[in-house]
Structure 1
């Protein structure tokens, strides 16, 4: 009886017994339930060649039928507790064995026995029970490698495949990586059973690919560096220097570059002639001639993919005018304006015109156009249009009247005489002509006065300074569009501003000063009061009672540094302006010294001043009371209605009078009648009262 026939007969016997029981002919069995108890895991992993057992324990009936299935096919049968040997399928007898417990054992299990195994136990009248096992047979990985199809990837193809192979090994899980990042199936990658497919490979797919295989007993990784061939891309042509055209004699550098792997080879062609003097896509042309203008072709070839591309560049070489158009405007007899434009050289000469002035007048190479000065030309920008076959260019000129200006006066000592220079410059186009007057008389060149060639400067030789008679000069800047006039009243030497800036250590100070723009100054005396610089005298006796001159500076200076100061001592500085031997008023005094608290005498003075102030306040209150009493005592005199405004005025006037007497300077009270009040609102005369002189008060001042 074969293995396939025996289970069928067992099942027929079980069905027959069950049928009799249902008909009441067979009494119910002693055992009421079939039980399969697991004696091990249901999922079993094992290395090929080892022994393995799917362990169970069967109970519930002594003669129950036991069948083991490999997938859907029975591979062994046995009657529980039977003395007969289990029946094993012929092609599995060398591997499979059913134990007395009902377990299924494998001897030197081969790789192909990976499957699901099910044990069924059947007994007539008790039904059927079953349990399923999963057996996975593995091998350790050996000699895992990666290969590609085709041999190299090319950008623009449909697909590129990486596939792995190995000498032996069973894969439970495979993972693919690109530059360390795991790859999943998407629109660009397809992960298949033993391969990775790149759809539409491109240059960004260049990198390292790896596959990692895993099973419960081993793991393996294989790497493959892939470089995607591509290009040549659209080449980039460049000409340096970049110009629309080149002039005869210029040098130009033509370069041709394109991306590609491997790097494409480059050739330059002029017409059909191959130019051999190019190097890595660079073609240098020096001292080019007009005959070298034309079409240059850059040809690129990827020798590995046999892809070819080319691109043209047109080089234009001409002879052009020199430089750029030049515009100018001049004065004609100080009444008319002459506009001029020139652009010399070139073949042919450029055609020039002033469209805004006269659209019909043109010139070759240069053009001059006289127009009558008018207000509408003042500040108007006039364009000169230059037309050349190779280039259109232009230049602009704006005519403007003189603007307001500030005369500048300088003075120097020369041969013990003062030489004064007055400079009057006003921005104007065309340049303004300056005329000079002394008082009402025109100034001409002579021994005393000298006017510069451009008329902007007037030099006065042997200037005599006289405080009682200051000299008055006038300069007038004029062009055809207008004029500006300024009077210059020469003043004596003076300082308009003086400041002091110490350094952080307070050992050096910077003195800055300014001079009025019409002041005649030929030099400065820098004076200091205090201890001498680098003084070795004691601080209690090293200071000087008066100012002394420490520096003499020329009239052009406006700043000086004073060094070697003691930060713990006090110094005072001032500047004396001089015109030759005449000294002007000293500047205000700037002080530098240590910052300290109030001295003892100052504190005593403040303490003495407090009671004096209180006494004065008491006297002021008594005065107010006396005044009120005096007003009431005059009740027998007729009264007239008086508005409240005078009372406010009186009070305000009294407060102002009292306050002014307490301050250093006495100021006159404001005239309220100037606000045009009615007679009843105007202030009335106050009673005469002379307060007693204030007591002596000492005040402490910290600079």
Structure 2
């Protein structure tokens, strides 16, 4: 700047002052005004001045107030020093223009300051200042409440603390994004409140603190603990059900922070602690509800979820169907059973009902009708493992034959006749008994079995049984059948003989007529004694003309074996039926001998040849008679000779009426031709011996 510029500037200032005094002279007023902004910011420990300027009066009195407390008073240009309050003398200084200076200012000087300037006769002028003293921000820390933070439970707060400093502005950031106050966040004086935190609120939180003289940022990582979430359950392999003996694994997992632990529980017992349950050779007892419990170890929160494990087993065997009488034989109850298995099979009779069914054991009762007779009804059995069925047919009783059995009660000495009437029927027929026109009731003489199919009749004498007619009626809901039976005395039918090849052992068999009352059998024989019949063990050769009992058989016997027979001897056998001590008619006689044992066709051939044989014998007899007659006439003219010993022997010898090689069967022996030639008058005369032809073998069965 040149001296010319300086000259003009001084002239301008002089002109302003001159004009000022000119106006004051015209109108004088005390005026004070700040030279610096009224809001003054200062760093702690620095020097700061609240500068003012005034006009309108010389040497005014200046007073500075801190809030309402005067701290400095002074008259400008006075020779005496400013009057400073004792507590402020170390810091406050008054300048000549009335400005107030703070030396090494501290934070406690932050306040509102007022300057009043007065001049006698001119009134008072006032100006205002605000002084803000800031410490540098240092050692800022963040604190979290509560810790740890749980999702959705309570709000959490981030609050900062610092060793010193004054904050003029705070800003909060989440993962570098500034946070503003809204429904979820609240920025307060020295904290940040996060309402109902979520797991997404996990991250880095930063606070930025500022004043005119310092800026500090600090951050904290906040983890929002959560979970466990609802467990996810899975079975591998995944099937609607498993069969007994299968193997599988159950898995359980749930989201959470930290990762929750999973425990499988079944029947009140912990089975697994890692969320995996392996089941091998699983049984039906292991089927049911399995519970997975998940626990967050830090939050102590837990959840659980159930899983149903179906372990099935096929019912044993196959369904079984039956039908029985109900409601006094007026109804039919169809029954279907398929027991066992897990779960029980579901059973139904679709042909009888579309609405009725049951599990495992099912009964269905229906009214009897003709269309059910011999109609096949199917039971449908449904099980998760298998579907099956069974059939049942209800039928009325069919024709039957009563069966008679006779025993002897040694204790009572009575003959016991048991009549059994069983008719094939479904359901089983109920049997009722009658004698003549009267119903038979159980008592001392008559006893009816529990299932009514047997009637026992007890008498001492067999005659009491004879000529009595008993009737049994078999009845079920679909119909009835009735049969009568008349008991008869002891008798035998179809008696047969079966020798072994050597003819040393023979088996006798026989049958008893159905209504015959028999308690035992006498096995009788005619022929040589058996070794067992001799005391010395020797066998007597020869024949016996009487039948003798060689064995006793009970009434249930239908065969007998005879041992130690002589193959060269002839035996006759018969069987005598007995009812206690009453004997019945003996059986037909069966003969065993050396020539016996002809086959049926041979016997038939012999029987057919009998008429021819008789005719031949008749012709032969006539021829012989003619020869004898002619010989007699001739001998009357010849010399008589003594009878030879051979002829005498032939005359005196008695031939066996039963040749060993013939089955007599009641036939007469061939005639003795030598005896026919003899007469009392000529026995001393020797006659030529006549040799008859060989006899014809005939056999018959008696």
- Where on the TM-score scale, by shorter chain, does this alignment land: which range? 0.3 to 0.5
- TM-score using structure 2 length: 0.42
Larger radius of gyration: 2
